[in-house]
Amino acid sequence: MSGHSKWATIKRKKAKTDVGRAKAWNKLIKEISIAAKSGGGSVDTNPRLRVAVLKAKSQSLPAKNIESAISKAIGSSSDADMTEPMYEGRGPGGTAILVSCMTDNKVRTVAEIRNLFNKNGGSMGESGSVAWAFTYKGVILIDAEKHPEDQVMDIALEAGLSDMSSEENVHELSTTPEAFESVTKALEEANIEMISAELAFVPNDCVKLNREEAQKLLKLIDKFEDNDDVQEVYHNAEIDEADIEE
């Protein structure tokens, strides 16, 4: 099977631009809390919580922090008015960007996101202006050195796998949003460890950036991820490893 989306590469690059593990963990806890509050504290009956917990584990959020976030969310009445807007725009080199947020004040958040676009070589667009460049799907990464391709494919196909590619010691599995839960459960039951597992907006095609454009984009992503209301930033840029560090 094929269909390489460069997701493994994109995620590795993103990890290098993250501004501190503590800030990343705070965003994960926020998502877990909202998921637990809206659908209950059991990962067996709350698909959104299950996805949030899988993602948190892949980013090494301690189990005690996950359990604490769920417990506090179930017993709390806060965050009741949180909304989850998605903002779209263009970045350096014409890059398509989606900014997924979680906020209790959309007026504040939209103003801050627009300001970040404008001040960092980008421009905010209308809803639908760049969303067409992405597909919402499940993306699962598995260590190819630990788990043979045939083993992973056989189990995942039966559970609803859409596509799979292998390179650089990583199996990259793609699923529809609907099949994501069944595939991850099947992998867990087979004791196949997942490097990461999440529902995400994956670029349909990537835009190649030169060094200057790449560094401007990475700076913009850093600015977005520094914002407490921003949960995820998706883009369709292809960046050379040599351009990651200034």
Which residue type, as a one-letter code, is found at position 213?
Answer: E
Query: Is 174:201 a contact under the CB 8 Å cutoff?
Result: no
Q: Would you state the pLDDT for residue 239?
A: 80
Domain extents in the chain: 7-74, 86-132+207-237, 133-203
Query: Is 44:184 a contact under the CB 8 Å cutoff?
Result: no
pLDDT digits (tens, 9 = 90+) for 206-235: 899 999 999 999 999 989 999 999 999 999
* Mean pLDDT for the stretch of residues 24-36: 90
Identify the CATH number of the domain defined by range 133-203.
3.30.70.980
Which residue type, as a one-letter code, is found at position 153?
Answer: M
Beta strands in 119-229 (DSSP E): 123-124, 134-143, 163-167, 170-175, 194-203, 207-208
For residue 56 the two structure tokens come to 């948190």
**Same-fold call for 7-74 versus 133-203:** no
Superfamily of domain 86-132+207-237: YebC, transcriptional regulation domain (3.30.70.980)
pLDDT digits (tens, 9 = 90+) for 96-144: 999 999 999 999 999 999 999 999 999 999 999 999 999 999 999 999 9
Identify the CATH number of the domain defined by range 7-74.
1.10.10.200
Backbone angles phi, psi at 231, to 5 degrees: -95, -45
